Chain A
Amino acid sequence: MSEKHDEKNHEPFIKDWTYVQKEELNAESTTGKTISYWQDVRRRLRKNKLAGGSIVVIILILLASTVGQTLTGKSYDAQQLSLRNMPPVIEIQTAEDGTNFYIHQDLKVFLTDQHGFITDEIPPVSASLADKLFTYEYKGKTYNLSFSGEGIKFEDENRQPLPEKRKIWNKNYLLGTDSIGRDLLTRLLYGGRVSLLVAFLVTICTLVIGVMYGGISGYYGANLDIVMMRLVEILMAIPSTIYIILLMVYFGQGIYNILIAMALTSWLGMAQLVRGQVLSLKEQEFILAAKTVGVSPLKIILTHLLPNCIGPIVVSATLSIPGAIATEAFMSFIGLGVKPPMPSWGILSNEGIGAIRSSPYQILLPSIAISLTMFAFNFLGDSLRDAMDPRQRK
């Protein structure tokens, strides 16, 4: 018997020839404890910063749109026509005697206190459209407002600009007012409530209808399944926006109507998803066992099948929320959604788009709100899916 040692085994060591017990070895070799699937998901979700950020943003948005509107102290449909199109940030000009003026782009002159709180509007004492010059008097002094080609100028009696100009936050209306003088902040918050409410309710309807339909179709299979899924296929062939539009033309504008129209059209994908899941699960042994023992089908679906396909369902539901927000906004935007004066983010966008030149904040604010919410829900949904993807599990 010849013996050849490898290079690395040169180092001498004491060879211990005693036997070891299997138990001893196995105790050594089992490394770490096994963690359950959901613990694993939670752990991975917690590691994901994007998911955490999204959850924070979503909570803030939910808080703002549920309680926020009561804190502003204004109502979403109270109009203050004299204070319309007020931007969130105003430029105030201070005269030598300390009077603060705010000159609105619609050629209106307002008095403000030094914090930017608008107290009064002063009317011109004389107005000459031909010279493009308005004259104002306040506390014994005369001011001129000219609006020739170079833009709007507000000057004192000697046609000199006022000594001090500064930009300041609008204290009356933190986010300004719309074209008929309603508080945009309140409308934005209330609009968020409407948009989110619609989105959540539609998602719940999607879940209920989709899970029932898909569950029944998948569970009973055979001919029932074929008929039910053919129906879904045909309905899916109709472009869903057109389908919603038709329903809305039929129902007319209104929050409940848009809810119903969207719920009626959004469950198809969920039904297909659930059916697929149920189909792949129902042949598994624990289901077959439950069947042979004679557990009722409803109970099998609810207690055995659904919990085992809850992952994809949750992901799909999370991702359907931003979809619903977009659809509602879209429908309201083309005038077939929520009925004004009730605001939703789509309505606000619709109202704001016309003033994109003169008052861009009116369209930008709801746009930002929509984007932010949709990003948050999408990232959360994506992170959930990544966390649950068993292929990544190692």
Chain B
Amino acid sequence: MLKYISKRFAMMVITMFIIITATFFLMRAIPGGPFSFDRALPPSVEEALNAKYNLDKPLIEQYFDYLLSILRFDFGPSYVYFGRTVNEMIADGWPDSAKLGIASSILILIFGVPLGIVAALNQNKRPDRAIMVISTIGVVIPSFVLATFLLYFFSVKLEILPTFGVDSWKGYILPTICLAVGPICGITRLSRSSMLDTLSQDYMRTAESKGLSRSRIIVVHGLRNSLIPVVTSLGMTFAALLTGTFVIEKIFAVPGLGRYFVSSITNRDYTAVMALTILSSAIMVVAVFIIDIIYMLLDPRIKLYDK
């Protein structure tokens, strides 16, 4: 078990290292330094700026400096908003993103798995058909397309919800729904097929042959086994939602991390882009690590596979 965990941990560290390295060199390789704006700066100013941000040092040295500072969770100064650090800006944006992310994660948890189970237990009957049609639509439609339809309907036609901003709680409703619909539908479909798969297993018949109650059969024997494949998807979704989302935050003018990410791309705020890339990847990679551990708890066979 310890071996399994440490192996996963090593994998996580290696992945992070690769991501950081790749990000760093990709950013440095972009033609023109961070201070080559459309209107060229006087060479002396640019030099001074480069010196200030240590950009005049050899690349390798910069790289190790960067690695060290990341170990201290220090993402350095912003190149665009002078005098502000990337850490401060992340601290500004994250709460809003996290609120949306947590709210939609809760929705996903409440609806995703139960709907899938209900569908599976009523396979090919009316509830199943209805759930399948709706979830197919929900999975296919991109979140920003859904957002435009919902915005048009609720904010423009009915005028019951604000078009943008999160000044009141009402502002959270549409973005939360837009974020949650796709994953809910995805999780519903996944847990349905996983549950169906489990229900057709021989051991379910064994459980039935023991005269257990239907609820025990479904909960103890069915749910646990059918949740195993769903866990990955749930974990990845939560991780992705937690770091904010580009499109939804842009559409609803939520001042979160995602929007900050987009604006730092357009402003060529390289330290910010790097920081946000690394941050999102880190959360994703940690999520994968946690998922692996949950997996191990759910499925005792994992230890065996991993040998």
Residues of A within 8 A of B (CB): 234, 237-239, 241-242, 245-247, 249-250, 322, 326, 329-330, 333-336, 349, 352-353, 356-357, 360, 363-364, 367, 370-371, 374-375, 378-379, 382
Contact = CB atoms under 8 A, between A and B. Distances in A.
Contact of B145 (A242, A250, A370, A379): A370
A322 B151 CA distance: 23
B148 interface: yes
B220 interface: no
Contact of A360 (B139, B156, B265, B284): B156
A237 B280 CA distance: 11
Nearest to B143: A330
Contact of A250 (B29, B141, B240): B29
28 contacts: A234-B18, A237-B285, A239-B240, A239-B280, A239-B281, A241-B246, A242-B280, A245-B261, A245-B277, A246-B273, A247-B26, A249-B27, A250-B27, A334-B246, A334-B262, A334-B265, A335-B266, A357-B156, A360-B152, A360-B156, A363-B152, A364-B148, A367-B148, A367-B149, A370-B145, A371-B142, A371-B145, A375-B137
A363 B149 CA distance: 9
Nearest to B279: A242
A364 B152 contact: yes
A237 B284 CA distance: 8
Contact of B284 (A239, A330, A357): A239
A245 B265 contact: yes
Contacts of A353: 148, 251
Contacts of A364: 148-149, 152
B303 interface: no
Given A239-B240, A353-B251, A322 B280 contact: no
Nearest to B262: A334
A330 B280 contact: no
B163 A357 contact: yes
Contacts of A370: 142, 145
A92 B191 CA distance: 54
Nearest to A325: B142
Specify the main secondary structure of chain A where it touches its partner: helix
B247 A330 contact: yes
B273 A363 contact: no
Interface in B13-48: 14-15, 18-19, 22-23, 26-27, 29-30
Contacts of B142: 326, 329-330, 370-371, 374
B63 interface: no
Interface of B: 14-15, 18-19, 22-23, 26-27, 29-30, 136-137, 139-142, 144-145, 148-149, 151-152, 155-156, 163, 240, 246-247, 250-251, 261-262, 265-266, 273, 277, 280-281, 284-285, 288
Given A364-B149, A367-B149, 11 more contacts: A237-B285, A237-B288, A239-B240, A329-B145, A334-B247, A356-B151, A356-B152, A357-B156, A371-B145, A374-B142, A378-B136
Contacts of A363: 148, 152
B143 to A, nearest CB: 9
Contact of A333 (B141, B247, B261): B247
Contacts of B281: 237-239, 242
A173 B241 CA distance: 40
Given A239-B281, A239-B284, A367-B145, A322 B140 contact: yes
Most chain B beta carbons < 10 A, residue from A242, A329, A360: A242
A242 B22 CA distance: 12
B145 A349 contact: yes
Contacts of B250: 333-334
Contacts of B148: 349, 352-353, 356, 363-364, 367
Contacts of B280: 239, 242
A341 B94 CA distance: 33
B290 to A, nearest CB: 13
A375 B133 CA distance: 12
9 closest pairs, A vs B, by CB? A367-B145, A326-B142, A237-B15, A378-B140, A367-B148, A363-B148, A334-B246, A239-B284, A334-B262
